[in-house]
Structures are given as C-alpha cells and as structure tokens.
Chain A
Amino acid sequence: MTFTRFLERLLQLIPVLLGVSVIVFVMMALTPGDPVQIMIGDQIVTPEQEAQMRRDLGLDRPVVERFFVFLGNALQFDFGQSFYHRRPVAEVILERLPATIELTVVAMLIALFTAIPLGVLAAVRKNSIFDRIATVGGLLGVSLPGFWFGILLLMLFAVHLNLLPVAGRINYGISQGITPYTHFLLIDTLLNGRFDAFRNALAHIILPAITLGLPMTAILMRVTRTAMLEVLRADYVTFAQAKGLSRQRILWRHALKNALIPTVSVAAIETGSLLGGNMIIETVFGWPGLGRLVVESIFVRNYPLVQAAVLLYAVIYVMLNFFADILYTILNPRVKL
C-alpha cells in the first residue's frame, strides 16, 4: 500500500469521527431537564455559582456554537470539569485509562491466542469429538451473559477455592514502591523487578480478562474454523502438499495466512464488544478502570465525564477498525485499499 493511499484512507475517517462527535453532543443536548440543576442535585449553591456553572458549560450560547466549542475543546482533550472529582475530566479519565487498556489488551490476547489455534484444530479435525466440543463451546461463549459468568468464576475460584483475589488490580501492600513507568501493572512490576507483585497483578487480571474475552474467543473460533475449512479445500493447499512441504508448514503458513484475513476483520469488530464489556466486567470484578468510572459517574450525574468517555471509546474503536483495515491489506496482497 502506498503512502498516498494510506493518507486517503486516513482522510476518510474525518466524516465518521465528526459524525460520532455530533451524536455524542446531541446525546447530551437532548438530556431532559436542566443539566446544571441535575449536577447541583442536593448541594447548596449560590445563584452566582449556578450562573458560573452555566457559563462554564457554555449553556448560555446557541446550540450550534456550543457544538463547535465542544468539538474544539475535545480536540485539545479538554472536556471540562468533573464536579464530582473537582478536577478536569481529562485528568480523571487519563488516570483510569491504563487499567482499562491493560485489561482489554490481555482479554484480546487471550481471545486471539486461544481462538485461532482452537479454530484451526477444529477445522483440521472436522467432525471429531474435538470439533464438536469446540462448536458447543462456541455457542456457549456467545450465549453466556458476561456479568453472570464473571460472578460464577468469582464464586468458584475466589470464594470457594480461595485461589484468586476477589477484586482490584493488585494488593495494596504489594503495590507499594513500584515506580509507574507505563502505568500498566503487568509491565511496571517486571520493570521494577518485582516478580511477587507481577504474580499478584496476574492473579488479579486473569478472571476479568477471561470473562471479558469469552464472547470474542467464541466468535473468532467459529470464524477461524469456517475460514480454515474453506482454505483447506483450496488448490494451493493441494499444490503445497504436492511440493512435499511439512504438514505444519502447510497448516500454519499456507492455510492460516489466508484464513486469518476474515478473522482479522471480525476481531476488529469484536473489540467493540470488549470496550463495551469493560463497563460490565470492571463493575463485577471491582476493576479500577474507566468502564467502572463511567458507570459510577452515571449514578452521580457526572455527565461531562460520561460524554467524554463515550466519545473516547468511539474514537478508539474507529481507530482500531482503521488499523484492522490496514492490517487486512497487508495480509491480503490482492486488495488495494
């Protein structure tokens, strides 16, 4: 793919991102009731303070102007004040973001590294017991409500077997003295050479990551299986066999590289389920990330934060799909973007 093609594709993102921000803005604008009154709630404020809030939110201006102010601020990562935290929204979000990214990435890695080999095996041993189990597992995976499955896992591994912690990212005591280079605990603990803390962080992340990644695993496994079955019938697999290549090379190099093409697209779409799933899974496992913060913010009517987070999630998702498109063209040399 040429650089101009890449730029062209990048420019196509602009209308989508603009549309996304319009919708997020409209979501807020349509909120019934006076946002200032809602935010004040039971607090006692002077009329001056109330007028100040109104000005801060720009509510005294016309709607179109308010949108462009919102957009301009959003581009500078300025989402206003979080009244609940009495700090800028962006600051609060950035503080919580690493935990969410860490959980999402681990969940995605678990999904990719279990779904693809299982999908390949199910296709290679088609109609075997293994294939049947994979099919049933795939159906269960998309049918399990994540919040419930997470609670079941907690009951079994944390409560009854007492093997894993119930909530959080790391034990407070263990986390002391770790320099946060990246704010990703799994990396920071290793950079600090604190293997005890690494083990502790790993024990905390394993259940939420499995629960979060489960639907994605199930779907990717099915997609990989179907794609592999198709690919294994292809002439180039027969020709590769006729060349006397090893079974392993035919499977993992010739067949999988082609089977991964649909898998990548689906994986990108399914990241959306991971981002949304964060809100649920972080709530179930007391994970101190952005998802739980959003849910909590809804109940304290901290709307600027909810708005900023929804926009942020959407932008991340659009960008992920963009990168998946790029990866797609790299995997599939026939497609010119």
Chain B
Amino acid sequence: MSDDILLEVRGLRTVFDTRSGQVCAVDGVDVTVTRGECLGIVGESGSGKSVTFASVMGLVRSPGRIEAGEIVFDGTDLRKLSPRKMQALRGRDIAMTMQDALTALNPALTVGEQLAEMLEAHDDDLPRRRGARRAAIQARSVEMLTLVGIPSAGDRLRQYPHEFSGGMRQRIMIAIALASKPRLLIADEPTTALDVTIQAQVLELISKLRAELGMSVVLITHDLGVVAEHCDRVMVMYAGQVVEEGPTARVIRDPRHPYTRGLLASIPRPALRGQPIRPIDGQVPDLVDLPPQCRFLDRCPEAGEACRHLIDMHPAGPARRARCIRIAVPETEKA
C-alpha cells in the first residue's frame, strides 16, 4: 500500500511574517497523493491551497517560510534536500502549471525557447553534440506541442506567447510542464482564466495526458464541479486547514462538513434548476492571531458552544475524514 504513495505531506505549517503579525497561511495540513491518482484541492482564495503546493515545490517567497512539517516525495524528504537537488527535482519530478498562461509564459521569449530550456535543464538523454542536441530538442518540442494539440507545431515554436489564443497558451504551458515527463503535476487553477468551452477541453487534455504518461495530478481549483468530473479524491481547505477529504463521489453526494455543504449549495447546477443559489454568509477569518476554536464557527449555521475549542479531523466513513465535531457517521458506513 505505502509503495503506492507518491507524495506525503505531514503537519505542514507555512507562515508569512507581516507587519500586522504572523499570518499562518497553511496550518497543520496533511496531504497524500498516490501514484496515478487525481486529487482535487478545493477552497476559496486565501484558504491556503496554493501556498500548500508552493511549499511542496519549495517556492514559498519571502516573507513566507515553512515552519514545520514533512514533505516526503517518493521516499525523500524534500525539506532536507539541498537547494541544488531541489532545483533539479522541480520540473523533472514535480511540475506545475499556473492559473494564467498569459502571465506565466515569459512575454519576451519564444515558445520554442521556453520549451527548449526545460528540456536542456532536465533531459539527460539528449545527445552531447551541438547539432544533434539541437535537432533532438527541436524534435521533442514539436512532439510536446503536438501532444497537447497544437497544429503545425514546428512553425509555432518561433512565435511569442502573445501570438497565441488563451486556450492555446494554456496548452503550451501544460506542454512545457510535461516536457520532462514528471511523476506529479500540480495544476493550479488551470481553467479559471479560460472561456467555459475551452475549460472543458483543457481539463480533458490533462485527464488524457495523466492516463498516457501515468502521472499523478493535483488539481487546485475553487470549482467543485471540475473536481466532480475529473478527480478521484477531493480535499476541501478552509482558512489554512483541511476541513474534509475523501473519495469525490461520496463527498459530493454526502458532504460531512458544513463548509463543504455550503460550497455545494452555492454551485448553480443544471440538475437543480429552479433552486435558489445560497452563497455562504460571512467572510474567511483573519489569519492573524486566530482564537482556539473552529475556524468556520462564525459562518457555520450549525455552530454551538462545543465548537469553541480546537477541532481535529475526525473519521467520517471509509477513507473519509472531516474537521467537525458534529459528524454523525451512518452505521452502515462505519468501517
């Protein structure tokens, strides 16, 4: 079983030192990603979902820093890795795509150059000789662009990012991220910046490539609908903590945490046409000096006196956990 685990994060705590105090963006987060699976991470902006995976990549920017926790990737604790080894691992073993390809691709460099440098940095199989090396890089680049569905790839390598449409750019970013055949792809809001029709295409592409390349995918999104369609498991984050996790289908059918229920209720679903959309009242708490109580307390319709202390994750059925004291596990689902 443990052979199947690709990434295991335990007790991750990432803080930002600001003038108004220490902001704890990620507070005691555990994540497990098994080989070949697609894990969805859901949460509002500021829930810590992006910071969690920036921590995994070792890309937390000052004034942020990882304060505690273990990040084990394929048996190696990444936090104990030297910066040089971490750099070699980024891109080669764990790749990342960002929300908006327009800003993530360098406007002053051609697409070809941005692909080639990725191959240069990580592909040890490239021939040594200059001419052969260049030809191999060219061939691999064309292959990658074709893989993500960009026609006449050879010519387009010479173009700059702004010469492509939004959907094309997103595909190019994915092609770059996957150029070194990583084992884990972290896709941070891959569709937020796109039109609805293109969203579906890009997500299909990621699913297809996951199967073809046999990699694991972490899909960070604020859209539960996307998760429902593409992810095996889901983790819901709120105010720097995981509040619910489990197999996607069951979490969506029967959410155990009031926040997850709120999220589901706020999605306009064609199947539920006519029902009013209910946004969750209130706001995410200020992450400075949080009181020792349930973080969802102020917005929770079911909160009571018992919620005014620190809440742990509780088992909530097979392979499921939720951070709420009011979980009533149906007898039939008890393990």
Contact = CB atoms under 8 A, between A and B. Distances in A.
Interface of A: 234-236, 238-247, 249, 253-254, 257-258, 261, 331-334
Tell me whether chain A's interface is mostly helix, strand or loop, or mixed: helix
A234 B107 CA distance: 11
Contact of A242 (B96, B105, B160): B96
Contact of B104 (A235, A245, A257): A235
A239 B104 contact: yes
A236 B176 CA distance: 12
B104 A236 contact: yes
B239 interface: no
Contact of B162 (A239, A246, A333): A333
Interface in B78-118: 87-92, 95-96, 98, 100, 103-109, 117-118
A318 to B, nearest CB: 27
B107 A240 contact: no
B95 A258 contact: no
A238 B59 contact: yes
Contacts of A249: 117, 121
21 contacts: A235-B100, A236-B107, A239-B173, A240-B106, A242-B90, A242-B177, A243-B121, A243-B176, A244-B118, A244-B122, A245-B118, A245-B121, A247-B87, A253-B109, A258-B108, A332-B107, A333-B107, A333-B108, A334-B107, A334-B160, A334-B162
Contacts, number: 78
A244 B90 contact: yes
Contacts of B92: 244
Interface residues of B, number: 28
A332 B108 contact: yes
B59 A241 contact: yes
Interface of B: 57, 59, 87-92, 95-96, 98, 100, 103-109, 117-118, 121-122, 160, 162, 173, 176-177
A238 B90 CA distance: 12
A246 B109 contact: no
B102 to A, nearest CB: 9
| From B57, B59, B91, residue with most partner A Cβ within 10 Å | B91
Contacts of A244: 87-92, 118, 121-122
A254 B173 contact: no
Contacts of A257: 106, 108-109
Nearest to A238: B59
B89 A238 contact: no
Contacts of B96: 239, 242
Given A243-B91, A244-B92, A249-B117, A238 B104 contact: yes
Contacts of A236: 103-107
Given A235-B98, A249-B117, A334-B160, A241 B108 contact: no
**Closest 6 pairs (CB-CB, A-B):** A244-B91, A244-B90, A235-B103, A242-B96, A239-B104, A236-B106
